[in-house]
Structure 1
Amino acid sequence: MFVMREDGKIVGAFASEQEFATEELSDDSAELVAFLNPTAPAVYIIPKMVLWTRLSDAEANTVDAAMATQSAKLRGIWNSASEVRSDSEFFGTLEAFLTSVLGADRATQLLQP
């Protein structure tokens, strides 16, 4: 396999040589095998209180007002949850909500483990 690297890390693998991928590695190369078979990200839990403490006062007011306009189901899940699990369906919904309210970069920061 021919690989493409950025900053020393494999970022692409190809069966044939490419203009941008001229380094050849054996198919059983540990580095290539690891690239082709990435491990699943670890599941993590964020206590909901931590999310609130990560928000500024202004952001908290914005999130609270925006949450009040959401469906009863989403508000019910948010209000009853004590934590957010990264492997739950709600995590993706919360990420999309926070992205729409605070922007993608801030949503990513808030939802870090």
Structure 2
Amino acid sequence: MSEEHGFYHPIVGYWQTTSEPSKAVQDLYPEGTIPYPLKPGDNCIPKDGAWEYAEPPVDPWPEIVSVLYPVHLWERMTKPEAEAVGAVMKQQDFRTRQIFASASSYRSDHELWLLLKQIATQLFGADRAAQILAPSELIPA
């Protein structure tokens, strides 16, 4: 029968075994190693013979939102490309056309971004779509 056991050393840290180690094996552990309760979860740290919950570290990199201004979108396209996008946009519902026409910017965290990416990719391929939709600027979310 497998029975896990926990051990802790202030320098080496915490480890678990899948069975009770023999006395000979335990004699090989660093001096100062003590039996320790099994670790209850990833965000726990050893403290005074028990476990204390610790807040997970904050991701130091905020989500980045791409911002593309309409002037850059249209400047990057050739006249035939712009005509092709216009033709596809004419097929969209009124609300989508109004959002597209009145937007002061297109943001990667907005519902319209997926449509722009889909249209550009289908019409021009992934590489050209990436060029056309390259951000005018990047901002933290």
Q: Which TM class, normalised by the smaller chain length?
A: 0.5 to 0.7
Change (3 A) 1:71 1:103: farther
State whether structure 2 residue 126 is matched by structure 1 residue 104: yes
Tell me how far apart the structure 1 counterparts of residues 60 and 130 of structure 2 sit (CA, whole Å): 21
Partner of 1:43: 65
State whether structure 2 residue 110 is matched by structure 1 residue 88: yes
How far the C-alpha of 1:60 sits from its partner, in A, is 0.9
The alignment's C-alpha RMSD in Å is: 1.9
Tell me how far apart the structure 1 counterparts of residues 74 and 111 of structure 2 sit (CA, whole Å): 20
Structure (1 or 2) with the greater strand fraction: 2
Name structure 2 gaps, 5 residues minimum. 1-58, 136-141
Report the AA paired with residue 99 of structure 1.
T
Partner of 1:15: none
State whether structure 2 residue 62 is matched by structure 1 residue 60: no
Name structure 1 gaps, 5 residues minimum. 1-36
TM-score, length-scaled by structure 1: 0.59
Report the AA paired with residue 83 of structure 1.
S
How far the C-alpha of 1:89 sits from its partner, in A, is 1.9
Report the AA paired with residue 114 of structure 2.
G
Tell me how far apart the structure 1 counterparts of residues 63 and 123 of structure 2 sit (CA, whole Å): 26
The structure having more radius of gyration, on CA atoms, is 2
TM-score, length-scaled by structure 2: 0.48
Tell me how far apart the structure 2 counterparts of residues 100 and 56 of structure 1 sit (CA, whole Å): 16
Tell me how far apart the structure 2 counterparts of residues 40 and 100 of structure 1 sit (CA, whole Å): 30
Contact 1:66–1:101 (CA<8 Å) still a contact in 2? no
Tell me how far apart the structure 2 counterparts of residues 109 and 92 of structure 1 sit (CA, whole Å): 15
Report the AA paired with residue 91 of structure 2.
T
How far the C-alpha of 1:40 sits from its partner, in A, is 5.1
Report the AA paired with residue 73 of structure 1.
R
How far the C-alpha of 1:41 sits from its partner, in A, is 4.6
